[in-house]
Amino acid sequence: MIKSGIDQDALIDMFAEASAKQGEKLRKAVADATLKALQSRELTLDNVRKVIKSVTQATSAGAAKNPAGAVDVEGLLRKAFDGMDAALLKAVEANRKALQQLVDQGAGLRDTQLKAALAGVEKMEDLFFSTVGKAAQGVGAPLQGPWNQVLKTMKLEGTATGAGATQTVEQLMTQTQDALRKGRATSLRASQALMDSYSAMVSGVLIGMSEGLGGAVPVDDKPKAAAAKKRTASK
């Protein structure tokens, strides 16, 4: 069954038959499926939520059928989470490239739509956790414990998505502030035209990011740890 661009049956079968030794294969499969689904629609937060929910439901349904013990099932779910994280990092990178185009055109922090776009990037990790958490509540009781443990661990460690989002927001805010201090003229017509089609533009950037997700996602430990500290401090 195809739901939100995800072949759920394929993921269910894969997780139902997987062993703990196939973890990296699972991570890559989830990452590729999630990225493909994100590329097939306008990259809005609502569409991201729908894709993550669909992937979580499918991988959970498959893991529930897996005869492995609780520890191994938790490992399988962690790989599902890591795969979604890798795909969402690509979405964050697509936002960064699209926002960079806006800044280069002269858009600044006073532009309401630019602020909204940056806020959307900043919310990506929270949306990720909340969506997986809500979807996990709807699975069978045997899987709720493993999912809760995965989420607890990742909230402490921080995600690649969160680290990438933090870097993106900080970098672009610095650039726009520097541009304002230098008095760079804003091309209102050009930047407004880009902002009006921002979601579609990000989708185009994401589609153009053809590099695969087979390898490890290159995110430094330091920004990832910083993102975790920031989240902890905000509580």
More confidently predicted of 91 and 221: 91
DSSP annotation string for 168-226: HHHHHHHHHHHHHHTTPPP-HHHHHHHHHTHHHHHHHHHHH----S-S-----HHHHHH
Question: What distance in Å separates the CA atoms of residue 156 and residue 66, rounded to the nearest whole number?
Answer: 27
171 CB contacts (<8 Å, ≥6 apart)? 96
* Tokens matching residue 199: 């979601």
pLDDT confidence tier of residue 218, bands split at 50, 70 and 90: very low
**Structure confidence by residue, pLDDT tens digits, 22-55:** 888 999 999 999 999 999 888 899 999 999 999 9
Lowest mean pLDDT among 54-63, 151-160, 162-171, 190-199: 190-199
Q: Which residues constitute the domain of residue 116?
A: 2-234
Amino acid at 195: M
Beta strands in the chain (DSSP E): 2-3, 6-7
Q: Coil, strand or helix: which one is 235?
A: coil
**Structure confidence by residue, pLDDT tens digits, 2-28:** 776 788 899 999 999 987 678 889 999
Q: Is the pLDDT of residue 229 over 70?
A: no
CB–CB of 114/146 below 8 Å?
no
Half-sphere exposure (Cβ direction) of 58: Cα atoms closer than 13 Å: 27
pLDDT of residue 139: 85
User: How open is the CA angle 113-119-121, to the nearest 5 degrees?
Assistant: 110
Strand partners, 2: 7
Average pLDDT, the chain: 80
Domain count, the chain: 1
